């Protein structure tokens, strides 16, 4: 981080290992849960190990939450290890940052409330299917609110910390979620389509 009065040539230092570790955790997490969930759907590996689909889903949920905290920790370390961007020192940006965190948190927690535990943590890959598509708030406002809420939280944190590197990492978060949805959406629809045929 640049010291007060110290001239900083760039606000993103690419030689910072913490930045690259943060990028790796951002990319790894959705890749991990998509690969593991698909393996479970096709081969029931986790269910077999833990003695049933619900116990298996709980294990995967704990793993996903743990990896999420790990990713978030590295993101904050990356913001703190990089030079601050004076452009974001304005109080209006601080208000914007906290607003993003608040709105993002609302989207994430209301998504969890609407989906329930198993709906949130890929229960459908374990054969724990929802009775109907969720259309309550926030799903009636935005598609995939948990992912976009999470992206808003990252962006808000980067703004509050006046971190240009954090904003770039936030763009990576959004991109990775977009890629994940490209694979998740059709696969989840296929799970329910096959379930309707066998019902």
Average pLDDT (119-125) is 95
At residue 195, does pLDDT exceed 80? no
What digits encode the pLDDT tens for the residues 77-100? 999 999 999 999 999 999 999 999
What digits encode the pLDDT tens for the residues 55-77? 999 999 999 999 999 999 999 99
Task: Round to whole Å and give the CA distance between 99 and 156.
Answer: 7
Q: What share of the chain is helix, strand, coil (3-state, %, to 5)?
A: 75, 0, 25
> DSSP character for 83?
P
Picking from 92, 137, 80, the residue whose alpha carbon sits closest to that of residue 110 is 137
pLDDT score for 2? 47
Secondary structure of residue 30 in the 3-state scheme: helix
Write down the domain spans for the chain.
17-198
Task: Round to whole Å and give the CA distance between 2 and 98.
Answer: 23
Task: Round to whole Å and give the CA distance between 152 and 174.
Answer: 9
Residues contacting residue 144 through CB under 8 Å, at least 6 positions apart: 177, 181
At residue 188, does pLDDT exceed 90? no
Residues contacting residue 16 through CB under 8 Å, at least 6 positions apart: 78, 81, 82, 165
């Amino acid at each position: 981080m640049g010291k007060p009065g110290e001239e900083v040539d760039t606000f993103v230092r690419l030689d910072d290992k913490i930045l690259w570790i943060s990028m790796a955790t951002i990319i790894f997490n959705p890749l991990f849960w998509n690969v593991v969930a698909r393996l479970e759907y096709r081969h029931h590996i986790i269910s077999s190990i833990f003695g049933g689909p619900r116990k298996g889903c709980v294990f995967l949920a704990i793993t996903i939450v743990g990896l999420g905290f790990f990713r978030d920790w590295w993101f904050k370390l990356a913001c703190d290890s990089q030079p601050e961007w004076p452009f974001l020192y304005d109080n209006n940006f601080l208000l914007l940052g906290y607003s993003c965190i608040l709105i993002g948190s609302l989207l994430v927690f209301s998504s969890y409330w609407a989906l329930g535990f198993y709906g949130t943590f890929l229960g459908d890959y374990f054969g724990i299917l929802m009775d109907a598509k969720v259309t309550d708030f926030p799903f009636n406002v935005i598609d995939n609110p948990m992912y976009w809420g999470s992206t808003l939280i990252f962006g808000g944190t980067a703004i509050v910390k006046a971190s240009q590197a954090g904003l770039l990492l936030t763009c990576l978060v959004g991109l990775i979620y977009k890629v994940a949805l490209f694979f998740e959406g059709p696969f989840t629809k296929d799970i329910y389509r096959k379930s309707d045929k066998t019902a």
